[in-house]
Every structure is written in C-alpha cells, then in structure tokens.
Amino acid sequence: MAPKRSDKPEWRVDPNTGQKVRWSESKQAWVNENGKTVSKAKTLPERASSSSARRTDSGSTPTNIPRKDSATAGGSDALARSMEQMAPPSTSKSPVPTAQFPLSGTDPTSQIQTRWGFDPLGSVPNPGGSSMRPVNLKRIREGNGASQTRFQRGYITSEDPNHDYRPSRVIEVLLVPPPQTSDPGDSRITPNGSTGLVRLRRFIIFEQSPDQERFRAVAIKTYNAQGVAAPGVIKAHHSIVYTGQPRMRADERPNDPGDADRMQPHAIRVQQYDQEQALDPLARIDYTDIYELDYDFPNIKLFGKVHTDSWPSFMLQYRSVWATIQGAITGPRLLPTIQDVPEAETPRAGTESVTSARTVVRANPPQSSTASTDHTRADSGPISDAQMVRLMDNLRIRAAQNGWTIGTEPDDRQIHRMARDSERRAQYLGIIRDRWNGERERAAAAAAAAAENVEDDEDDEEEEEQEEEAEAQEEEEEEEEDETPVAQPPVRRASHRGTR
C-alpha cells in the first residue's frame, strides 16, 4: 500500500543553504519560499541510491521523503542524513508526457541519454523545387540523469536560468542524436568514434518562457566544413555567424547574380566568453532548425552572446526567413512566438559595425515596387487591420533584404486609418517607394563613384609607374654616358733630323 500523501506539501530545511524548501508538483522540482526552483546540486545528491529512491514511471513525487517529526527528532545530523536520502526530482519539468518523446539516443561510453520529440512547423521546397521536406521543432529532454563524466565536465545545470538563458545567449550543448539519423551540422564527436555518440552543438537562444521553464534556440552548423555550399542546403535560410572576421567560400555565393537563393545579408557577430574558444570560420546559422530545451537540461555550457549591434539583424533575418517559408505555403501568417531582449536589459551598443556596406548593398538590387498586391492601389478599397500589419511586415522584410529604410513607422491608429482609407494607404506606400528609389539611386551612385575612384587610382598608379620608368631610363642613359671613355687625339711624334 502506497504511503499516504499530505494534500499540502511539507517544508524542509536545506542543510547546505539553511533555507526552507518544498516539493512542487506543478514544477516537478524543489522550490524555496519565493517559489524559485532550487538547484539539485544544492539540495540533493547527484544520484539517489536504489534502496532509497522510489518513484513511479510517470515521474510522481518521491514516496520516501521523511516526515518533519522524524527528521527533527534526531537533531541536525538526522535532518542532514534524511535530506541526503531524498530521491531526485524528475529530470523533466515539462507536463508533456514521456510518450511524446519516442526516440532516444544513448552514448555507451558516458551513458548520457537524450530523449527526442518532433513537432511539425511546416514544409519547405528542396533545392530545385521538385519536392518538399518537413521542418520540425526538435524538443529534447534528458533521459537518464547519468552521473557527470569527463565528457560532461564544465557542462552543468544553470543555477540562474532566467538570466543565463535569455535571448541572444550562445550556448554549447552535449546531445546524443536519435537513432538512424545523420546530422552534418555537428561540430565534434567523442574521441572514441566507434562507440561515442555524444556531440557538441552550439545554439543561439531567441525565445525564453520563464513560466514553462523552457527556451528555444536555432542551431549553428558547419555542414562538415562546407558551409552552405553543401549539397541540399538552402542558402536563403542561413547567415554567417562569426567571432573573428566573417568569411565566405566562393562556392557559397550564388551562381547567378539574380539568384534568390543566397544567404541572408547580415553577418552575425558573437562575443565569446572564453577568448581561446572561437566559432569555425564556416559556421552558419540555420534559422529553420529550432530546438526547445528545459531549464534543467544538465549538459549546457555558456559560450557567449550575440553582439548588441547584431541582435536586431538576427531577429529581422529570423522573421524574414519564416515569413518567406510561411508565405510560400499558405500565404503570410503569424510567425512563431518571439521574445526580444528588453530595452532595459540590453547593454550599450559598441562602436564596431557588424555588417559592411558591401554585404548590405547588392550588385543588382530588385525593383522597389510595392504594388505586388491589389490593396496597394488608391482604388483598392478598405482592408483589415491584420492585412495592413502583414503589409508592413513585408515592407520591413524587403527593406532589410536590400539595405533600405522605411523611416518613421505608423502607429496603431495610423495603421487603422490606412486600412480603412485606400487613398491614404496608397499615398504612404508611394512615399516608401520614392524613398527606396532614392536610396537605390544613391547606392548606385556611390558604387559608381567608388568604381571611378578605383579607376582613377589605377590610372594615377599607371601614370606614376610610367613616370618612374621614364626617370629610371634617363638615369640609366646618364650612367652609360658617364662610363663611356672619351676618345683622345693621337700623339704626333716629332722627328729630329741632324744637320750637316
């Protein structure tokens, strides 16, 4: 017969910190009086003994938690011993049942296990457009709570996940891939390649959910040191990410200047915490490869953060990629939920520019016409506020892709007025069109001026070289004249004849 549980969880005293803690059924974790999760490293042993840990398969509350009276009867030593015997809480705080994580991978060397679940996000066309492939949200959980090994040293469970796992953080994660999969994005495997399956992956966090104690991140990949030139990779879903200087292989560029399948224009700069660690020169962000992890996932290390100058570009490119994907399938709709870095928590931006003008201004920018839909005309009639919002989103994406600006954006009241009044809407879009035409002309003029300067510099250099060659030739001729011997007149010998 199972022990009877109290409806109200009893408070215990953590012998390491002296604070009161209790078991939370909703969070499946120990919490303090403020409701904050208490790290297992402070409260519980790394692994409970088999004789003292007794839990149901569904991850219910440990049944061998000592009662308050029995713990206090023996004094502080008895309390400490009883706390050491507590079974660890479930490794997953998610209410999602384990059955939704049907795949698992186990490393036979370190005994690390990762459970995997997949939720469909949509489909994207394969290169060539002949077929479609699914895009999934990869939800991962720790599987077995294995004790820390040499593969895991430095990879811990965060004591302050709300701070450590904020958007813009770059993390390293040890994962065991699900069976019968091959992921070319992995950057390193365990030394024993025949048995070791633990792989190190890096991610950029873009969304945080403190209520559910989870976060989402996009993957950083190298594609086996091929970058986006690897077969089957859609370039437009990626961007460069770097710690030193951004680099691009020649075969990563589009074959045709007008080819739409090119990487996103802004290279994303990462500031690493350990200066001896660096991203691979061919590291690329895959904005479609999204992972979801729990706060208490144990094998995570902080690598760095996205530079504040690059964070707006990162978020804009994320939205641009997903707007393109969703627009290609069912037309524009709401993007996956995003939580930006709050203004007050964003450090001051540095003075270094992340994206050079060469990557912003394209050689052949597309036409800036915004008349791709009927509701951009003056006689198109009223539209809904949601349609107007989507129109503004498309304008922002187009501006970001070409390095253009929109200027002062309309507020909610102006959005509503333009949605109801097609003439007002067409007038606003005309202003945007004129702005873009002017910016494109200025960019073209600047590029032409730069080309002329280069030509002028080349002409000047050629003239200088010719002058230097002429001067050198004159000097050589003068030296030859100095070295030529001067012909002396013949010496006439006088004849002395005697007189008789």
For residue range 121-171, what is the model confidence (pLDDT) as tens digits? 767 666 665 667 777 788 877 655 554 554 555 677 777 888 889 999 999
Three-state DSSP at 388 gives helix
Min mean pLDDT across 171-185, 236-250, 425-439 is at 171-185
List the domain boundaries for the chain: 12-84, 98-343, 374-445
Pairing of strands 169-175, 188-189: unpaired
DSSP 200: E
- Does residue 187 or residue 406 have the better pLDDT? 406
More confident call, 153 vs 422: 422
End-to-end CA distance of the chain: 170
Q: Look at phi and psi of residue 38 and say left if phi exceeds 0, alpha if psi is from -120 to 50, else beta.
A: beta
Q: What is the mean pLDDT of the chain?
A: 68
Asked whether the beta carbons of 426 and 377 are under 8 A apart, the reply is yes
pLDDT value of residue 52: 33
Looking at the DSSP bridge assignments, the partners of residue 19 are none
Most confident of 53-67, 82-96, 144-158, 363-377: 144-158
- Measured CA to CA in angstroms, residue 216 lies from 79, 168, 325 at distances of 39, 11, 19
- The single-letter code of the amino acid at 166 is R
Taking only the tens place, the pLDDT of each residue in 3-18 is: 333 445 567 776 666 6
Three-state DSSP state, 125: strand
pLDDT at 458 (0 to 100): 67
Question: Highest mean pLDDT range out of 22-31, 198-207, 256-265?
Answer: 198-207
What is the model's pLDDT at position 250?
84
User: What digits encode the pLDDT tens for the residues 228-240?
Assistant: 988 888 888 999 9
* Dist. CA 343–CA 345, nearest whole Å: 6
Mean pLDDT in residue range 342-364: 32
Instruction: Please report which helix (H) or strand (E) contains residue 329, including its range.
Output: helix 311-330
Span 445-467, pLDDT tens digits? 877 777 676 666 666 777 778 88
The residue with greater pLDDT, 176 or 330, is: 176
Q: What is the pLDDT of residues 253-293, one digit of tens each?
A: 876 666 667 888 899 999 999 888 899 999 999 999 999 98
pLDDT at 500 over 60: no
The strand pair at 238-242 and 268-272 is best described as parallel
The whole-angstrom separation of Cα 45 and Cα 341 is 35
Alpha carbon distance 37, 296 (integer Å): 10
Query: Is residue 479 packed enough to be buried (19+ CB in 10 Å), middle (13-18) or exposed (0-12)?
Result: exposed
pLDDT at 497: 53
Mean pLDDT computed over 381-398 = 81
Alpha helices, DSSP H, located in 223-310? none
Locus of tokens 């699914």: 134
Q: So what's the pLDDT on residue 101?
A: 53
Percent of the chain at pLDDT > 90 equals 11
Q: What is the pLDDT of residues 70-101, one digit of tens each?
A: 333 333 343 333 333 332 223 333 334 444 55
Residues in Cβ contact with 469 at an 8 Å cutoff, skipping those fewer than 6 apart: none
- pLDDT band at residue 493 under the 50/70/90 scheme: low
Residue 218 pLDDT > 90: yes
